[in-house]
Structure 1
Amino acid sequence: MLTSVLVAYVPVLHAGYRRFFEKCSASGIQSLYILDSCYIREVEQLRKEVRQLEPVDAISAVDAWGIFPEVGLADAPRVESLRSLQVHVVMPDDEVSRAFAKKYLLGNYVTFDGSIFLRWDRAKVLAENPVTPDRVVSRDEFDRHIIARCLQEAEHATDLGRHVGAAIVRDGEVVLAGCNTQMPHAWTPYMEGDARSFFKQGLHVELTTDEHAEARLIGEAARRGIPLEGTHHLPLPTVREACSTSGILTHLLRRGLCSARR
């Protein structure tokens, strides 16, 4: 049975490299050899790699992780030794590894492991991957009508940046409609400032003086005693649990959840 060793170009260290090394170690590999600078310089596009650690520094850092019993330099003598011993060489699946193996390891059994993303290379950048659709875009005329109604409701919002309209529908009829509403007063942001202005979109969404349109409609339904079982609505992350537990069946969005700003 051939002895397996890992040979890799390691420009930086991050969690992906650690997981990759741990996976290789778990498979029985006990030796890691990091490519020497003389081989790295042969790859023209790596001249722009400003993050790149010196191989000796990468060796010291990886060795400190204690994953492999042996961490060394894949210099010319080491590479010649690997060729003469006919060992099984495992390498990350990238252009650097493939070019190195093609030039220096033709007589060895080499496998390329791309199971864990480590870094971008030309092949990964140019790869065309099939898109797996996970959304349904409705062309139903009624859905478009309801979205138009939501847009009309959004015009009444007084938030400085977010105008969101929502509607609850049952059996083809709008049960409730409304927009996001400032609390305690519609003109609060104009008097006291916008509490959301300190955060980027999507961060700390729970910190706001603005009541989401969805939450407002659910509260209004509760106040009026209107059951929501079997209705249809649009959720945002902070209110989707309430939408689900209130009995709402379908959620219809005009745009992605991070595109509520008009």
Structure 2
Amino acid sequence: MKVIIAYIPAIHRGYIDFINKNQPSIIYLLGLELVREVPRLERDIRALEASEAVNALKGIGLLEVYELTKENITKLDNSMEIVMPDEDVSHHFKESYLKEIPVQFVPVFLRWDKHNSFKKDVVISDNIISRELFDREVMNRAVAESEKSSDWWRQVGSVLVKDSKIIFTGFNRPLPSDQVHNIFGDPRSNFDYGVSFELSKFIHAEAGMIAEAARRGISLEGSSIYITTFPCPACAKLITSAGIKKVYYKEGYSLLDAEDVLKSFNIEIIKVED
């Protein structure tokens, strides 16, 4: 007998598809007491009570749906084929209550949990790879800019191009002065790659150039940006808001929703190779 156990804070198509694909005999929704064992989930203001989610699923024709509590966990046993979404709350529940019972964790995106918030996705550059001389020359300029950065963590260079002309160059640099990080250190050094990137003394190369263009009153509508490392989520949002239409990058990964944000605004993503 196949059983789905899941935390469903809000009903959406992703959950329905997940259920339909796995065709369970019974669905158990994690109750509030079990969910609250995972830190910070109480901050999700969307979250329905498990009993409300149960009623909602029954309302669309899924009849064998129940709330799972500490009192009825004993109904679960080795005779069941248990399936759970591959999420932080699922792993916590398995380690806490189902140590002796096999669980199949299914990779599926249903919500932003702690695990996928830090996931580094390979960038799908619209299947476009450029080896054009102009693009390689501009990217080499971006690489040269990156070498000016005093950030020990990562050196990023960037170039803005409009009408086939370079209008701005930049690199990640510390603020308010070039030596501020050498006095008290950089708080970013307390974290691993891809984690808490906003806690830094450095302004990102892309953000610095976009801000400089705004200060000078220069429109970036229809321009292209060349970046040695694929932009972070915050810079991706700045790029879309600035009207930039093409992103050329040399290396890196998409963190959180950076790639999705760019593609939502029909921004072309191009990888430059030698």
TM-score interval (norm. to shorter) = 0.5 to 0.7
1:205 to 1:159, Cα distance in 2 relative to 1, 3 A? same
1:81: which partner in 2? none
Partner in structure 2 of residue 160 of structure 1: 152
User: Deviation at 1:216?
Assistant: 0.7
Say which one has the larger Rg: 1
- 1:178: how far off? 1.1
In the alignment, the residues of structure 1 paired with residue 81 and residue 73 of structure 2 have an alpha-carbon distance, to the nearest angstrom, of 19
1:1-262 matches, within 5 Å, as 7-8=1-2, 20=24, 21-22=26-27, 61=73, 63=75, 74=79, 118-119=104-105, 135-136=126-127, 137-233=129-225, 234=227, 235-257=231-253
- Which whole-Å CA distance do the structure 1 matches of 2:249 and 2:82 have between them? 41
Instruction: Tell me, in whole angstroms, the C-alpha distance in 1 between the residues paired with 2:224 and 2:215.
Output: 19
Structure 1: segments with no counterpart, 5+ residues = 1-6, 31-58, 64-70, 75-89, 94-116, 121-131
Separation in 2, partners of 1:257, 1:187: 29
Alpha-carbon spacing, 1:133–1:192, altered in 2? closer, same or farther (3 Å): closer
Structure 1 residue 189: Cα displacement: 1.7
Matched residue SS, 1:22: strand
Q: Which amino acid aligns with 1:247?
A: G
**Alpha carbons of 1:160 and 1:146: their partners in 2 closer, same or farther (altered >3 Å)?**
same
Q: Per-residue CA shift, 1:99-141, capped at 9, x if unaligned? A: xxxxxxxxxxxxxxxxxx9248xxxxxxxxxxx9664322322
The CA deviation at 1:73 is 7.4
Alignment: residue pair count: 169
Q: Which has the higher strand share?
A: 2
For 1:165, give the aligned amino acid.
G
Percent of residue pairs identical: 27
**Matched-pair contact (CA < 8 Å) for 1:205–1:238:** no
Q: Which of 1 and 2 has higher RCO (CA within 8 Å, sep 6+)?
A: 2
Cα deviations across residues 28-67 of structure 1 (Å, max 9, x unaligned)? 569xxxxxxxxxxxxxxxxxxxxxxxxxxxx96263xxxx
Which AA in structure 2 matches 1:61?
Answer: I
Amino acid at match of 1:245: S
Q: Normalization by structure 1: what TM-score?
A: 0.52
Cα deviation, 1:168-189, whole Å, max 9, x if unaligned, reads 0012111100101101111222
